[in-house]
């Protein structure tokens, strides 16, 4: 069971869909589309209608090469949106941040989860905030930071490195009084992972996801519209972001079959329809992951 706000999600019964709401001018997929409060609120309500279980609000782009924004700028972007949505949404809100003060401001308004790309490394105070509010936190694996993460990342055994990373970060979280049932892990597709030229770390992660599941924590996967999908599905050149839907759906389906509990996506309606079928098949045990 995973408790997020007032919702109790029974893991393994139905995939949890997290809808992405980037309140930024420069995110890789939809930067600028929902930068105004009115557009952000409208889009969040549409994602809820389309089947999202959680809305993840972020005020700082984490695309490759992105430069960090100030605390004040991030607060100015996300807090007005949260203030509007907290009374309108019937589903939980997650704050996508590594800054403890942004998280605290959001949690004080009623946000129910923290999604931290730094796995509690970016701000030494965030772990205590998560523990204090007794809410779920997603810890993500990343090489370096968004500005430099795609500058020649290298691995001997990528799953071993990710698993070792999460053993250390979950121990850190537990040591800082974060409850085990509040920890979610995300292998960080696209964050310091190799793609192109015959090396596809993201695909290897998806294929070997059962190894990560053995750690005993719910897994979140964010493959939606990522570069590796464009590279693989394009013929002569990488597909643009706007043409990566089919590949994103394929990645989401495989992730669920291999054990993911939460799928973080931009295209909620299409993903919900795909995963409703996959959930039915997996629950009915028509297909077992070991047979794929």
Based on the residue annotation, tell me whether 167 is a catalytic residue of this protein.
Answer: no
The larger pLDDT score, comparing residue 282 to residue 257, is at 257
Residue 280, domain member (yes or no): no
For the residues 177-190, what does the mean pLDDT come to?
A: 97
Which of 103-112, 148-157, 249-258 bottoms out in mean pLDDT, i.e. has the lowest? 148-157
pLDDT, position 85: 96
Residue 241, domain member (yes or no): no
How does pLDDT run across 14-61, given as a tens digit for each residue? Answer: 999 999 999 987 544 554 455 689 999 999 999 999 999 999 999 998
Q: What is the DSSP letter of 32?
A: T
Q: Indicate left, alpha or beta for 81 from its phi (over 0: left) and psi (-120 to 50: alpha).
A: alpha
The residue range of the domain holding 170 is: 15-221
User: 3-class DSSP state for residue 56?
Assistant: strand
Distance, CA of 73 to CA of 58 (rounded, Å): 12
**Model confidence at 69: pLDDT above 80:** yes
Based on the residue annotation, tell me whether 244 is a catalytic residue of this protein.
Answer: no
Residue 279, domain member (yes or no): no
How does pLDDT run across 141-164, given as a tens digit for each residue? Answer: 998 766 665 667 788 899 999 999
User: 3-class DSSP state for residue 132?
Assistant: helix
- What CATH number is associated with residue 108? 3.20.20.20
Confidence band of 65 (pLDDT split at 50, 70, 90): low
Residue 103, domain member (yes or no): yes
Confidence band of 291 (pLDDT split at 50, 70, 90): very low
Q: Is 58 exposed, middle or buried (0-12, 13-18, 19+ CB in 10 A)?
A: buried
Task: Name the catalytic one among 99, 143, 225, 226.
Answer: 226
Mean pLDDT of the chain: 90
Residue 36, domain member (yes or no): yes
How does pLDDT run across 80-100, given as a tens digit for each residue? Answer: 999 999 999 999 999 999 999
For the residues 273-290, what does the mean pLDDT come to?
A: 77
Residue 292, domain member (yes or no): no
Distance, CA of 146 to CA of 119 (rounded, Å): 14
Task: Name the catalytic one among 104, 105, 264, 272.
Answer: 264
State the total domains in the chain.
Answer: 1
Residue 80, domain member (yes or no): yes
Residue 239, domain member (yes or no): no
């Amino acid at each position: 069971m995973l408790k997020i706000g007032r919702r109790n999600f029974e893991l393994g019964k139905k995939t949890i869909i997290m809808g992405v709401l980037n309140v930024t001018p420069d995110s890789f997929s939809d930067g600028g589309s929902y930068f105004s409060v009115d557009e952000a609120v409208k889009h969040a309500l549409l994602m809820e209608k389309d089947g999202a279980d959680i809305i993840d609000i972020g005020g700082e782009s984490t695309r490759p090469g992105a430069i960090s924004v100030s605390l004040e700028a991030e607060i100015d972007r996300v807090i007005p949106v949260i203030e509007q949505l907290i009374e309108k949404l019937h589903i939980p809100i997650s704050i996508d941040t590594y800054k403890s003060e942004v998280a605290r401001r959001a949690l004080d308004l009623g946000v129910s989860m923290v999604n931290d790309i730094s796995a509690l490394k970016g701000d030494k105070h965030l772990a205590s905030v998560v523990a204090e509010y007794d809410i779920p936190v997603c810890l993500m694996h990343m090489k370096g930071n968004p500005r430099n993460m795609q500058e020649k990342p290298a691995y001997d055994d990528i799953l071993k490195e990710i698993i070792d990373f999460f053993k250390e970060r979950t121990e850190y979280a537990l040591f800082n009084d974060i409850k085990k049932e509040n920890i979610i892990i995300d292998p960080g597709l696209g964050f310091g992972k190799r793609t192109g030229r015959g090396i596809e770390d993201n695909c290897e992660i998806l294929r070997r996801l059962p190894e990560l599941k053995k750690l005993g924590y719910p897994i979140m996967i964010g493959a939606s519209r990522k570069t590796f999908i464009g590279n693989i599905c394009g013929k002569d050149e990488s597909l643009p972001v706007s043409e990566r839907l089919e590949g994103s759906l394929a990645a989401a389906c495989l992730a669920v079959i291999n054990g993911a509990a939460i799928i973080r996506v931009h295209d909620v309606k299409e993903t919900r329809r795909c995963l409703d079928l996959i959930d039915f098949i997996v629950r009915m045990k028509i297909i077992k992951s070991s047979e794929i």
